Every structure is written in structure tokens, then in C-alpha cells.
Structure 1
Amino acid sequence: MTIRLPPRLIIASLAALSLICGEGIALARSSPARPAKAALAAQPASVQPQRPWLYENSDVPIDGAWLFGTLPNGLRYAIRRNGVPPGQISIRLRIDAGSLHEREDESGYAHFIEHLTFRGSRFVPDGESKRIWQRLGVSFGSDSNAQTTPTATTYALDLPDASSESVEESIKILAGMISDPNIVPAAVEAERAVVLAEMREGQGAASRVGDASRALFFAGQPLGSHAPIGTAQSLEAASAASLRAFHDRWYRPENAVIAISGDTDPKAVEALIERHFAGWKPQGAPVSAPGFGTPDPQAPASAVVVQAGAPPSLTLVWLRPWAPKADTIDYNQRKLADSVAIQMINRRLEGAARRAGSAFLQAGIDVDDVSRSANGTFVSIVPSARGWEQALREVRAIIEDAKASVPGEAEIEREYRAFETNLAVDVENQSVEASATQAGNIVAAVDIRETTVTAQAALDIYRGARAIMTPAAMLDATRRMFGGDAMRAMLVLPQMEAGAQARLDAALQAPVVASSDVRLTGKPVTMADLPALPPPGTVVSRVPVGVLGMELITFSNGTRLTLFANSGEGGKVHMNVRFGHGLLDLSPTRTQPTWAAGYVLGANGIGTLGQRELDELTNARRLGFDFGIDDDAFEMSALTRQADYRDQLRLFAAKLHAPGWDAGPVERVKAGLIAAYDGAAATPGGVLGHRLGWLLRKKDARYRTPDKAEIAALTPEHFRAFWEPILASGPVEVQIFGDVKPNEAIAAVAETFGALPPRAQRPIERAARKVRFPAHNSKPLVLLHEGNADQAAAMIAWPTGAGLANAREGRQLDILAQIITDRLFERLRAAEGVAYSPNAQADWPLAFDKGRGYILAMSQLKPGSTDYFFTLVREIAADLAARPVSDDELQRVLAPTRQLLARASTGNAYWMNQMEGAAYDRRYVEAMIALPNDMLRITPERLRQLAAKYLVDRKSYSVVVLPRVK
């Protein structure tokens, strides 16, 4: 059983683990059933054992919403009814075979088989899989996908609008895919190019650091040398016969688990599993799973890795052998106590990182079972400009302090309550847990050899662990987690430093003096400590929007509230506060420190309260602060809950009324951006990420990424001078969508945003009201990257339009972009293997009534393929302008779009997004109402007209990113 940690406490260490292991941290949680929309015809089911297979050797409470069973051939399944989203079935099929099951000459085979399985099988002709799923409303890549990790290969299908016929057809196809994929020479040769393209596009500083990390940390174990993507040598040598041998060895029913959650009758689905999977017969005798080894104490303990483009970093690891354990309540409670002990240290590290003069920008600790190969404690450190040696000393000193003396009861209680609130929120939200999450939780639990429990059971087990979280027990846990059979340390540098290896070894052996000033102290902080707001405002109008019971409320100070009170997501409250005019408030010609705002405005305090005080204030609450800049507004947003949303309003209003201006967050974000800056130049995608938005807006300063000199030059005083007038001016639009009582929510806004003094109105510059598109270039603009010589990227774009007046055309261009994406996929990936993920996209900026949007196509490729890309895209554009698409091609795009809209519209986030700006402009309401028809009633002839109007070659603008010649 695993329970997720409070999100704000999961910091750098988890990112490091993902890099090292190539797999995410699994969740193993579940929630009660929801009523089904429709049921399939029930048929006889297998008899379940008294204690389901997932709960063998465990005493945790069984989640009775699941129907468990095992077929005679050994295949295990778990099925449950769930109506979130309505009408959908989510299927996860896990094979207990990943890259660690490969022999030395089979590197990459598990992932190669994943590709071939989706390419064609018993019931799917070669290359038709994507089209078949699209006709069923499935979006390729999001609704249908697969993942290969070191320990497993998992196939995922989210089937929208699931009828009895489509569910049976899907289960039949999946059964054929898994038991009898089309592993023949022609398919292998075609898919080899695709896999190699995926390998090429994934190579870079991050992948090389990940490979080096595995090689050091897991030296002598299979995990140290087996990345799921494989090696070019092994993939080039793979044949249909060798791949078939791998498939038959591991793709066996006893190695398979199917988890299905959705809006249907579990008994009926069980009958379909029996019908289509019971005949799966394994090939040959079973093979025992390989051993994954144990950490080698004699292997090298440290390494220095030099990787251009990678920011400096340090990772310390304490390794212990992994062994399966009975997933009992006692075992889980001790793990939970360990987590609380670690989170106390993480909070101390974060507090130290915020200090002026800290030698590290970020540090975090995590304890995890890694790919059934080791249990490890991972410490990740990002040094500041003071250097990695001082950063290592400071972090080791904080850890040493935690090992030297017991924590205080107040510290334990703080972390206990933060974790408890996280679990309590899960209980509140259990009725709206998505089917995809539930099915994924089952296969994640199988992967880590644990169980799932309901949200309430997880909370009860956690609360039962409080008694063992004594100061002495926390100290013992800390000492145990910083011990083990082997210790490793890796230093990553962007360029070699003199004597780095010897200096690292010396720093690791140096005596450690425990810190004496990192334990968090200070008086309790309450909402009463926030700056006082003026007296509440009054409501001057309250009118219905005319859609789904939404209301528009205007207050005496001019603040407007869009309120959608509903219980569709029980307990959840989505909040968005829009103020000012966003990009329209900014100059298109002057550089501005907008790039720092996302972090700094959430961290630089409110009034006299700094980050530490605000952390204390919001601890064990569901309160947040996300800042963004939209075309027509600046936004503060949070997902909160019924019990906390009033205080969330209070925090946001205080931020506008009395913002704090701590200098520390400005200096911290500058240091972090400068440290990571060169990494963007190491890949074609990074270069485009830095430059493309600016180029496609004709070098509009609002879309420009600052250079390092500009980042370094920003001062706290300059940041304040720019942002203080923005926070104090412009219209305010509050959006509250979720489980609230209307009158209470209106009163809460009256006491907060309605209480603010009337705000000054900043005039919008005439030049800021327009976005432009660059002039046509007959030859692509050439940009250079500093990475691999076999990586390149190409992009071509055409100008379109902007504004609400013709939003319909902008939405129809989204459909045209999807058609282009499909054709690029068919040619560049499926047929020729030139690229792994070509795509097209359209942008129609609604807030700019003057100017240009664009439609673009882009892909990563080999340098020698960029000319072919441009030729192919122009060929596709000309064909779309000359001939209507077929009905089948159009429906293969519209069916997934229809289902995407249907699913999205069951959640508050969709409606909130569509209603942004509607409090001040009724046209947004009309555009929201028209959206489904705008997109779904398009005809082949209309698409042809749009292509002829916009995909005009003499208006195009193109960019190519090539490797710098070295």
C-alpha cells in the first residue's frame, strides 16, 4: 500500500529518482464506486477466492468495490464500477516484463515489443491500430498508450462513450494484441526506424546523466546497464525471431494483470475477459523471473560526470537490498512514520535554501524502493553560485543534526497534520476519482508488490500510526534511513573543474558538524496575522449567466464574481482571480521581468509575513498560489476545498492589497534560471522553446526569453517597481466554481475582494492590442543547438487570425491542425520512421481583436531530413487546399474531439476556463455555448476552404534548428 505525500513537500528528490530510474513514483490508492450510466448484459463470473489475490499476505482492509478474479490460465483481473467520467471505461493491462527481464543481447526488446503490439495483431492489420481506436473516439497518445519501465510493460486504453459493443471489441483487440502481435520481418523493420527515432529524440543531457546515475548507483545490478530504450546496436540487430522469442518467454497469462474501472457492470466485463482471454495459451515452459541483484558495497562510491548543458547538481544515495515484504498495517504505519521523519528534514532544507547566502538553491530527500533492485535514500542538491563543496557541507550538516538529536513534538505534529490533511482531502474527493486513476493504481500496486485501499482506510491507517511517531522513534528512523550496505555520490558539472574527483572524495570523507540553527521555530501564525482588509463591500447586481445556473455578481467597488455553485466534484472548489489586462498591459517593445513572477509573487510574502510564516499559516490546509499571465489578465489560481476556500480568498485579496517584497525569492529564481539556462541550448526542442514564441510574434518583447545578462541584472527593487502598480490596478474578476453555497460564497467575496478600495485603471497602449506574424522567408531561419550531431528540428507556420468575432474559424483551424498531425504521423512515423512525434497546432488569440494567430507544423528529425519535412508539409498543405478530406479521415479526428469535449465538460475546470473574461465581455459566454458546434459540425469542404485560405506558401515562415559544427 502506498500513500502519496503532500505535493508541496515532494521536491527535487523525486525528479532525481525519475531521472535515475526511468519510471514514476507509483500511487496505490482507490476509492468507492459511482453509479453506472449503463450496464452490459451480465453473464456468469468466475468464483473469487476468499481473500483476493491482491491482498494475499496482507491484513489491510480489502477495497470491496473491486471484483477480483483469476482465470484458469493464470491471468489475474480486477474490475470496478465508477462513473467518473460518465460513460468511460479505463483499461490497464500490465505484463510483468520490462527492461530488467532482457538478456544482454536483448537490450530494448521489451520496449520494441510494446511498439509492435500496438502496430498490428491478430485482429488489427499492420498499421491500422491508431485508426481503429480513433473511430471508437480514442485519442492516440492520451487515451491509448503504453509504457515500458525496468519492471513492467503496461498498456493503457481509456474508452469514451463505452457501449457494450465497443467494450467487447476493445477487450477482444487487446487480447489479440497481447497474445498474438504481428511480429513479422516487415513490421519489425518498419517499427525499428520508429524506435530508433524515439531514441534519437530522447537523447540529451538529461538522458546521459540518467544513464550515468544508474551505472554508478546500481553498479553490478541489471538496473545499472539496462535502460528501457535499449541500445542502437541491440535494436539494429533485433529480428522477428529474436523478438518473438522474448515475447513468448514473458508474455504469458500468469504474468498478466488486467485492471478495468468504468461506467459499466463489473460482472459483464468479467465475462468478456473470460471470453477473450481464457483461450490464451502460453508458448513453452514458464521461465523464472531473473534476479535483480543487490547493491554492491565494493563498487565505486563516487563519480564526477561532466555534461555540457546540465546544471551543477549533487546526488547522495544510501542503498539497502530490496526484498518483498508482507503489505501489512504495521509495515505501512512504520513506512508512514519514516515519511514524516524525512519530511521534517525536507522542511529544514527548504528553510535553509531560502536564506540569504545559502550555498544551495534546492535540496530534498526521498526514500524509495527502486525497480525492485534496492531500497534507497536519495538526497538531491542544486548548488548556488557559492559552489558545490559548500552546498554539500551545508546539506550534510542539516542531515547530521537530524541524526544527532530528537525532533521536537511541534515539528512532528506539523508534518503529521500536513500529511493527514492530504489524506483527508482524498476522502473528500473519493467520489470523483477518475476511472483512469483507479485502474492505474491497481497495476502500480502490482508493480511494487503492494495493495490498494480506500481513501478512508488509508487515513485510518495513517492516524493509527500517530502513536509510534515519538521523538525517539523519529530519531531512530532517521539514523536507519541514512545507513545501508552501500553509499554513492555523483557530482554533475557542465564543464570539468580541476581536481573535481579528488575534491568530491575529500568532501565526502570530511568530518561533519551538525547544524545548530535549522530547526524551525517561531510563534504560531493565524489568518488574523494577515494585513487587515477594509470593511466588506456590497452587492450591486446579481444576474444569471443563462448557462447551467452560473451567476454574475457585481460589487460596489467594481469587482465582479462569476459563480458556479455545484456539487459535481464533491468538496472541491476551483478558484481563479483575474486582474488587470495581462499581456495587453505589457509593452511589445520593452523588456519586462514577467519571467520571474511565477515563482517570486508566490514566495515574496504578504505584508510583514514572509515565506516561513505563510508556510505555517497554510500548513495542513488546502491553500495554494499559482500565478500566470494570460493574454487579457494576470491570474492567481488555486484548487481548494469547501473548508478552506474562504481563507483562500483572504490570501489572494491580501496579496493584492498588501503584497510583500522580500528580496530572497528574486535572488533565488535568478540563480536557478542562470544555472539551468545553458541546458536549453543543448537540444533542438530547447532552442525552439526559448525562441519560437518570440519569432512567431514578430519579435514582440512580451514573448521573449531573457538572456542571462538580463536575468542577472534584475534587482528586487526593479521587480517591485514593475509589479507593484500592476497588483494595485485594473479590473478584478473572481471565478469560483465548485462545492460552495452561493450566498456564503458571495459574502466571502464581499469581505475580501469586494472590500478592496476602487482600483486605478491603467490605459492599454495601442501597440499592445495587436499581435503580429513575421514576413515570409523563402529559406528557413537557421538556429543552432549545442547538442547531438544527429538531432535537428524543423517548423513551418502560416498566419491566421485573432479575436472573439471569428472564434468559430479559430476552433475549426484546430481540427485542420489535427488532420495535418495525423498525416504527418502516417508518413513521418508510421510509414517511414523519420520522426517519432511530429505534430501540428493552431493558435487563435481571442483577446487580441487585431493581429494574427498561426497554424504550424513541426517535428524533430535528423539534420538530413529537414528538407524532406518541408517538402512533405507543403505537399500535405497543397492537397488539403485542393481536395476535401474523406469522411473517414474527418471522423477519425472528430470522434476523439467529441469525446474529449464530453469528458472535459463534466468538470469545473473546463467551464471556468471557457468563462474567463465573461464577467466583462458577454461574447465569451456566447463563444462557450457555440464551441461544440463550431468544432464538430465542420465539413470536409469547409476544411478545404480553410486550408486554401490559410495554408498559403508565399505567406509561410519557417525555422530549422541544426547542430553547431564542432
Structure 2
Amino acid sequence: MKLNYKVCIAALAFVALTEGAFAQVKKKPAAAAPKPATAVPASKADLLPVDPNVITGKLPNGLTVYIRRNTEPKNRAELYLVCKAGSVLETDEQQGLAHFTEHMAFNGTRDFPKNQLVDFLQKSGVKFGADLNAYTSFDETVYQLPLPTDSVAVFEKGFSILANWAGYQSFDPKEIDDERGVVLEEARLRGKNAQERLSLQTLPVLLNNSRYAQRLPIGKEDIIKTFKPETIKSFYHDWYRPDLEAVIVVGDFDPRYVAKLIREYFSLLSNPANEKPRTVYNVPPTPGTAVKIATDKEFPYTVAQIIVKHPGTVVKTITDYMQDMRVELFNQMLNARLGELLQKPNPPFLYGQSSYGGFIGRQNAFSTIVVAKPGELQTAIKAAVAETERARIFGFTTTELERAKQNALLAIDNAYKERDKTKSVNFVNEYQKNFLTGEAIPGLEYEYNFYVNNIGKITLAEMNAMAGKFISDQNRVVLVEAPDKEKDKLPNEKTVLDWIAESGKNLTAYVDTRIDKPLMDKLPAPGKITSIQTDSAILTTTVTLSNGIKVILKPTEFKNDQILINGYSFGGTSLANDQDFPSADMAGNITASSGVGNFPQIQLDKVLAGKNASITPYISDVAQGISGNCSPRDFETAMQLVYLYFTQPRKDADIWQSNITQTKSVLANRSLDPTSVFQDTVSATMSNHNFREMVVTKEQLDGASLDKAYDFYKSRFADASGFTFVIVGNFTVNVIKPYLEAYLGSLPTTNSKETYKNLDIHPPAGQITKTVYKGIGDKSTVELVFDGSYEYNDANNMQMDALESILQIKLDERLREKEGEVYSPGVRASYKKIPEGRYTFTISFQCAPANVDKLVSATMEEINNIKQNGALPVDITKFAAQDARSTQVQLKENIFWAGYLGAAAQNQQDPDAILMHVSNLANVTVQSTKDAANKYLSGANFIKLILLPEKK
């Protein structure tokens, strides 16, 4: 049964605060608390310094430059072009053309006609969409180009590409006409749904009918369909100019060489005569409180947001930075309290969060969001507001503040320890904010020292004053979004405001209860290491413990402060009978949320404050196991948590009831959402209607029990003898051996030799078409699925990966570029050995309902071309280049090795085979792709799933 309500709600809340509110706007970074509008300019002594490791400057034409050498990942660089040109600068006739300009950058420039740019980069190992990408927001457009630096020709060409984007786009009329459909399909993909319709109701209120409310980046459909080339050229001429652009280059290179390339390629760019002033737009404040209640037929949740807007601030000074630290601590403490409410047996809401941070239109905002259970909006609003009021009236406690400081120091300490292993893109993001907003870039070393030296100076009195500064009934917006069917039950504006006002009554101070004990009162009798084997090829050591546990160890230096821990044993829910399956299916998640030993989850979180150790048990369909990570200094804590999840899992009735209550609430309106209805049909069809793979029902929840779940969990972890652990990261084998013996070697064993059962759950054979008619938007979804038996081995896996990549290239070219009627087709090959060898090959896209049949036919035509002729050699070259590049990067990442070594052990594969992967790419040929297409895309087992709007 598949329904993770926590993921559903978290995703919904993110959409509500970002996409739902701002329509295609990237989330803004958190900013510091507001200053009075009459703040005195900062003195030079108060200004934060500039990181000495970054080279900054301007060319004579005004182009801003950031250059930094960084060797992570090795032989790679990030090249970004950042333009202060977004949708707010559009005229009435240009609405949507800032975003359209971004698209046209990939459709022809002076030196790269038509799609030669994308073609060149794909041959160089750069994936379109995944690596090569761009975005357009209200105030900026940003182009990202990750490139290898071990190829001089490719690396230098990257600067030519950026310069072409910056000043030499072609805007060929035919290319413009071809791209209109793609942009419209992007609008369809992201919109034509309940969230878009609700946003159009709420945005004018939220943004006070400002320029931001009138200039959504996606623009207007009629303009996109009909604008003349001169109109978009005018936008490009006015705003793509050196004095509004920055080039950011971070990576493994010689900075002097890069500076030379930038001067060479960008110095000839010029600003237009009679420049238009770059107007800075703001959102005017709203007197008092504005309330907007909006409903939609297909919206499955009832959501309330309370947004108190403040003047925006940018962290430039020491004073700003201190306040930014206070904001971080405030948000952490307040949300810890809200999180505790979710662990009550009958939680007051499905999701709740409050925080102060950056907002749209050069504002900050204190935002509270709650997702209510059906019919319980009042309870949700009052509960969330009560916590902010409790903080305002009574403040926080000393122990809460100390925990928050510990966690903040832990985060900055981890970043500092990884300072020489920081990904280049992280630096790019900092420099981008510096260019766009002026936010300081003092560098990690300065920030670390500042934290260590100053966080202790933050007082409880300062923290207790913050809620009063953030909370106000002025410049406040209250939004309520709900299903149409709830319209008659929704409050009016006055009632909503009354609920908010009443939330602060009859409150008592928060009591910070803690269990002041160590995780383990008594250490277990340790086991012994009985054998050690080493693999000199991939530098792993495999130890066997006296209780039968195997531990595969791979010490690395890829990260300084990271150790990944994963363990598994076969069995899982496949061993549960049908009657007990609903309980067994929840056992892993419930136990992972219930704490361990004497520590309920709330107390466990508190005792782990300041420790970098996270361990989570799980139970899948074929296995049970442990997943987690820690820093080297907290490895023993992580091992203790592993031991406790085996030997002392907690049986928490409150957590059980909370999960049941929230899951039922999510199910209540699930049928309103077309996407959910369609995915439920997909799940049912692909599992041949086996209830274990379908969404849980209310009746199944009613029949589940905590006792059964707890007993099933204990049975799955009662015998550790079949477990294999993989530990990857910064450790020395001899140093961690005693901990392995103490905490893994002492785990209980029964030598049951259990394994999974093959329940024969897979798609039905033959050719099947399922059409779902749901939704009022002019939007369809198509999934085409090929499946069958599969011989799992490295050779077949490579051919399947190649077929996936090559077909992705062909469908991008056909459905997006040629037909212009799909924004982002998706191709996904999935294959497995356990519980039996099976594969699925899925092609998916969204489009206009009228184009479904045409696009399905076009897709099948591209498949048949490969079946008849094999892949084009150029497409094989692109796949091999991209796969080789990604493999080179992955081989330097802990997370790759953790997953790879675990999979190799489970599937009984030779782990050394990865060392031959790049050379084996030569085995992908025209003939091999033809054979693979005929074998795996024969159509003998073919399922066509289509979502269409409701019939009128």
C-alpha cells in the first residue's frame, strides 16, 4: 500500500508557499530581520568582508565577474550567466517574453545556429535539462552551464556560449514560431490545475496588485501565441546588456586563465545607447489585514497562510549577520514546538510551520502555514497561531535556546570541516545572490569564526523579543484555500480574524521536558570479528562478526565529516500474510517515528541536539534494514542508535494514532485531485490490482493495529545474522573495529536464514489501455509502459541504460523540438533482480488532450526507428560521453559507493565491475541498441495509461 502522507503534506506546503504563491519563482533565500526604514548607513567597520578566495571585478563595459578556483568536483567547472532581467521589466506587450528569451538562448545564437549549441554540449557529456539549464524569475534570468575542464576545447567553448547568450541571440522567426508551442506546453505542465487557479485568485491580494502580481514569469497565452519577433528583440536589446549581467565561474582551473577567457569573450559586448533605467519595483504595504478565501473543485486540502510582511533586508554588515543568526535560532525553536504537536494522538493539523525569512518583492515575511484536517480549519489555525503567541507572551526557555545554538553550531561546523570539499555550485549560488541583491560573501572561514565567537552572545531576552517584532496585524495577508465542496463550511473574513485574535487567550508557558540520561545505561557484551577480507581493486574491507553480520567498509576522503551507514537483510513485508499486511506495511515508519529505549521521539531529538548522527530503520517489500549517516566524531552514537532500533524499539500509541488520523485525513479528499486519481489507476494497473501496491484504504487502516505492527517490526529485526552493513566515509578501519564489535557484534541472532517471498506482483501480460477521465483543466498525461522478464547483469543493464538515454534524446528532438507540443518528455528504464528479474520501460509526457493520439503515434514511430535501424552513431556518442562523465563524478562520492556496494551485495554481483564501466561503454553499438529495442520494446507487454479531462 502506497501513501506517505508526510511527503504529500510537505510537498503541498512547499507548493503553497512558493509555486502556489508566486507561480514559477525560485524560492528566495532566508534574509535577516527587518530594520527601520530610516536605518543609518553602515560604517565601513561594520561591513562584512569579501572572501579573499573569490576574484571579483568589472570589465570596462560594466560586466560583473566572479572567479573562484575549487576542486570539487575535480576536472569540472560551473559557468553561470546571471542577468538582472526578469518579468517585472516587461511591457504590456511583452508579458512572458523574459521567459521566452531564456528559451531562445538554446535555439540559435550568432555562433551556434539553431540547436547546434545543445548538440555540441550533449556530445561533450552535458545533459540538457539535467546539467545545462536556465530559469526566469520576476527579477532575474539565470543560465547554468557545468563543463569538464580536462578538455580545453570544450571548456573554452563554454565562454563563447555564455557570451552568445549574453549578447548574440539570433531570434530567427522560424525558431520563434517553433518554440511557441514548447513554452505553451511548459505553461500547461506547470499550470492548468487547481494550484494555478487558486494562485490567480490569491496573488493580487498577497502582492497588493503590485507589478509582481501583474507580471507572472510564464506570461500570457495570447501574447506567447502572437507576439512579433521585434517585440522580443526589443526586450533583449533593452535588458541583456553588460551592466546588468554577471559571469560566475567556479571550478577546477587556473583563475588567471579564466580571467583571460572572460576578457576575450565578453569585452566586446556593449551597452545600448540611451539605456533604459532599470526600475526597482516593490510591493506597497497593505494597511491592516487583507483576507482572501479561495476554493477550487480539484484542490484536495484546506490550507491557511498568515503572512506578515516587513521591509526587506540584505545581510551586508556584522549587525545584519548577528540578526540573521537570531532569526535562524528563532525559526528552529518555534518549529520544534509545532513539530511536537504533530506527535499528539489527535494532532491539530496535518502540517504546520512558521518562519521568518525572505519574501517576494524585496520584502521579508513572518509566514505561518497550516494544512487542516477536513472540517477542522479553526482547530488548525488556532493551534498554529497559539504557538507563535505562546512564544510572544512567554518567550522561549534557556534549554531550548541552548539546543538551538548547539544545532546551529553543528551545521556551521560541518560546513567548515567540508570547506575543501564544497561543491562548486554552492559558491555559485552565494555569488549570484551577491550580484542580484548585494548580500555579503564573507566566506566560510569568516562565517565559522563569527559563529563560534558570537553565538554565545545571543541572549534569551533578545530571542524572546523577536516574536513581538515579527507578529503584527498591519501589512498582513491571510489566505485560505480549500476544495469547492467545503465552501459552505468555510468561515467569512471576520470569523478567520476572530480565530486568530482568540488564539492567544488562556495560554500557559511552554514546559521543556527532558530526559537527562545517556542513550544507553549499560553497554552490551561485544562480539568479535571472525574474518577480514580486502579488495585491493576498489579498496574495501569486509569483516564478518561472530554473530554472522557482514560489514563492507570503504574508507574515503571524499567528505571530511561524513560517514554513511546502511544495513539490510532479506524478508520485508513479503513475509506478512495478507490480513496483517496493512499493519506490517506501517511498522517501519511508525517505529522510526517513535524513538528508542526510554526516549520518545521528542526526547530523542532533544538528547541528540548538537550531535551529527541520524539513523532510520525501514521495512520494504523484500527487506528490512537501517539507513543513516553521522560525522566521524559521532560514529559511536550512530552505532548505539542502530543497536537500540534492533533491541529496544518503542511502541508508541500516540505516534500510531497520529499517523492513522493524518493518513485518513489525507485520503478524505484525494479523489478530487486528477493527478492522484490517475496515479492510483497507474498503481492498480501496474500491480495487476494487488492491494499491497495500491493506496491504502480507510477500511484497511481501521483493521490495522499497533500491536501487530510492533510485533512484525520486532520479528524482522530479531535475527541480525542475515544482515549486511555497508559503511562508507571518512574513517579508519582499525579505529571503528571496536565499535563494530561492541554494537553490531552484540546484536541478537537466531540464524533463521529467512529470505523474501516472491509474491509475483508485476504488471499484467498483453496489451492494455486504461483511460481516466478526470479534471477540468485542458491537460492530459500519458504513460506508455513496456515490461517483462529480465536477466539482470552488467551487460544488459548498460544496454538498457543506453536505450533509455538515446530514446530520451530522440523524444526531446521529436516531441519538444519538432512537434513543439510537449515541454519535457520523460523516459525511465527500471530493472531489478529481486524478488525476480523484471524490467519496466516507461515513457511519459503531458500535453493538450487533442494531441494525445498524435504524440503517442510520434513516440511509437521513434521507437520503431530504433527497432528497425538501431540508434544513430551520434546519439550513441552522446550517451557514452554523458555516462562516462557522470561515472567519473560518482566514483568520487560517498553516496554512490554506499548505494553501489549495497546493491552489488544484494544482487551478488562483482563490485569490481564498476572499474570497467567506462571502457565497457564501447559495447553500446548501433546493432546492440537495435537488439535491445526489439527485445525490451517489442510491445508484447504494453500498457497505455492516459489521463483526459472530464467529458462535458
> 2:104 maps to which residue?
116
Residue 578 in 1 paired to residue 568 in 2? Answer: yes
- Residues 862, 439 of structure 1: alpha-carbon distance in 2 compared, 3 angstrom cutoff: same
Q: Name the SS of the counterpart of 2:946 in structure 1.
A: strand
**Cα shift at 1:685:** 4.8
Report the Cα distance in structure 2 between the residues aligned to 1:598 and 1:105, rounded to whole angstroms. 56
Structure 2 counterparts to residues 371-770 of structure 1, below 5 A: 371-384=360-373, 387-483=376-472, 485-494=474-483, 495=485, 496-498=487-489, 500-502=491-493, 503-510=495-502, 512-513=504-505, 515-516=507-508, 518-528=510-520, 532=522, 534-582=524-572, 585=575, 591-593=581-583, 596=586, 599-626=589-616, 632-677=622-667, 685-711=675-701, 713-729=703-719, 731-759=722-750, 761=752, 763-764=754-755, 767-768=758-759, 770=760
**Cα shift at 1:243:** 1.0
Aligned AA for 2:409?
A: E
Residue 845 in 1 paired to residue 836 in 2? Answer: no
Residue 303 in 1 paired to residue 295 in 2? Answer: no
Report the Cα distance in structure 2 between the residues aligned to 1:438 and 1:326, rounded to whole angstroms. 17
> 1:962 maps to which residue?
948
Q: Name the SS of the counterpart of 1:515 in structure 2.
A: coil
**Cα shift at 1:771:** 5.1
Which ranges of structure 1 fall in alignment gaps of 5 or more residues? 1-9, 30-54
CA contact (8 A) 2:28 2:358 kept: no
- Residues 719, 589 of structure 1: alpha-carbon distance in 2 compared, 3 angstrom cutoff: closer
338-347 or 145-154: which moved more?
338-347
CA contact (8 A) 1:309 1:676 kept: no
CA contact (8 A) 1:69 1:77 kept: yes
**Cα shift at 1:952:** 1.4
Aligned AA for 2:864?
A: A
Report the Cα distance in structure 1 between the residues aligned to 2:558 and 2:56, rounded to whole angstroms. 29
Residue 147 in 1 paired to residue 138 in 2? Answer: no
Report the Cα distance in structure 2 between the residues aligned to 1:216 and 1:617, rounded to whole angstroms. 44
Deviations 1:230-251 (A, max 9, x none): 2213322322111111111111
Deviations 1:459-497 (A, max 9, x none): 222234435422221122221111374111111212313
Q: 2:316 aligns with which of 327, 346, 355?
A: 327
- Residues 304, 715 of structure 1: alpha-carbon distance in 2 compared, 3 angstrom cutoff: farther
- Residues 823, 694 of structure 1: alpha-carbon distance in 2 compared, 3 angstrom cutoff: same
- Residues 728, 691 of structure 1: alpha-carbon distance in 2 compared, 3 angstrom cutoff: farther
> 1:799 maps to which residue?
787
> 2:307 maps to which residue?
317
Report the Cα distance in structure 2 between the residues aligned to 1:161 and 1:628, rounded to whole angstroms. 41
Report the Cα distance in structure 2 between the residues aligned to 1:73 and 1:409, rounded to whole angstroms. 54
Aligned AA for 2:50?
A: I
> 2:853 maps to which residue?
867
Report the Cα distance in structure 2 between the residues aligned to 1:685 and 1:821, rounded to whole angstroms. 23
TM-score, normalization by structure 1: 0.90
- Residues 306, 385 of structure 1: alpha-carbon distance in 2 compared, 3 angstrom cutoff: closer
Report the Cα distance in structure 2 between the residues aligned to 1:589 and 1:188, rounded to whole angstroms. 59
**Cα shift at 1:918:** 4.4
**Cα shift at 1:306:** 1.1
> 1:915 maps to which residue?
901
Q: Name the SS of the counterpart of 2:105 in structure 1.
A: helix
CA contact (8 A) 2:397 2:512 kept: no
- Residues 355, 780 of structure 1: alpha-carbon distance in 2 compared, 3 angstrom cutoff: same
- Residues 449, 960 of structure 1: alpha-carbon distance in 2 compared, 3 angstrom cutoff: same
Report the Cα distance in structure 1 between the residues aligned to 2:648 and 2:172, rounded to whole angstroms. 68
618-627 or 562-571: which moved more?
618-627
> 2:224 maps to which residue?
235
Report the Cα distance in structure 1 between the residues aligned to 2:859 and 2:213, rounded to whole angstroms. 41
Report the Cα distance in structure 2 between the residues aligned to 1:231 and 1:57, rounded to whole angstroms. 48
Which ranges of structure 2 fall in alignment gaps of 5 or more residues? 1-9, 32-42
Number of residues of Structure 1 aligned to a counterpart in Structure 2: 925
> 1:60 maps to which residue?
48
**Cα shift at 1:703:** 2.8
Report the Cα distance in structure 1 between the residues aligned to 2:618 and 2:136, rounded to whole angstroms. 34
Q: 1:776 aligns with which of 761, 766, 778?
A: 766
**Cα shift at 1:599:** 4.1
Deviations 1:406-458 (A, max 9, x none): 43322211111111111111011111111122222211333332022332321
TM-score, normalization by structure 2: 0.92
**Cα shift at 1:11:** 10
Q: 2:67 aligns with which of 74, 79, 87?
A: 79
**Cα shift at 1:275:** 0.6
590-599 or 513-522: which moved more?
590-599
Q: Name the SS of the counterpart of 1:755 in structure 2.
A: coil
- Residues 740, 763 of structure 1: alpha-carbon distance in 2 compared, 3 angstrom cutoff: closer
Aligned AA for 2:945?
A: V
**Cα shift at 1:568:** 2.4
CA contact (8 A) 1:91 1:261 kept: yes
> 1:214 maps to which residue?
203
Residue 137 in 1 paired to residue 128 in 2? Answer: no
- Residues 693, 73 of structure 1: alpha-carbon distance in 2 compared, 3 angstrom cutoff: same
Deviations 1:899-954 (A, max 9, x none): 01111111121112111154576424255455444545311111111112222134
Aligned AA for 2:414?
A: V
> 1:33 maps to which residue?
none
Report the Cα distance in structure 2 between the residues aligned to 1:388 and 1:499, rounded to whole angstroms. 8
Q: Name the SS of the counterpart of 1:150 in structure 2.
A: coil
- Residues 536, 866 of structure 1: alpha-carbon distance in 2 compared, 3 angstrom cutoff: same
**Cα shift at 1:686:** 3.9
Deviations 1:850-907 (A, max 9, x none): 3421222221122222212321222122211111322212112221111011111111
> 2:37 maps to which residue?
none
CA contact (8 A) 1:338 1:478 kept: no
- Residues 550, 71 of structure 1: alpha-carbon distance in 2 compared, 3 angstrom cutoff: same
Report the Cα distance in structure 2 between the residues aligned to 1:935 and 1:673, rounded to whole angstroms. 46
Aligned AA for 1:635?
A: G
Percent identical pairs in the alignment equals: 20
CA contact (8 A) 2:166 2:240 kept: yes
CA contact (8 A) 1:795 1:856 kept: yes
Aligned AA for 2:869?
A: R
Q: Please, what is the CA RMSD of the aligned residues? A: 2.8
CA contact (8 A) 1:797 1:857 kept: yes
455-464 or 854-863: which moved more?
455-464
CA contact (8 A) 1:771 1:852 kept: no
Residue 836 in 1 paired to residue 828 in 2? Answer: no
Structure 2 counterparts to residues 85-124 of structure 1, below 5 A: 85-124=73-112
707-716 or 271-280: which moved more?
707-716
CA contact (8 A) 1:557 1:758 kept: yes
Aligned AA for 1:737?
A: V
**Cα shift at 1:154:** 0.6
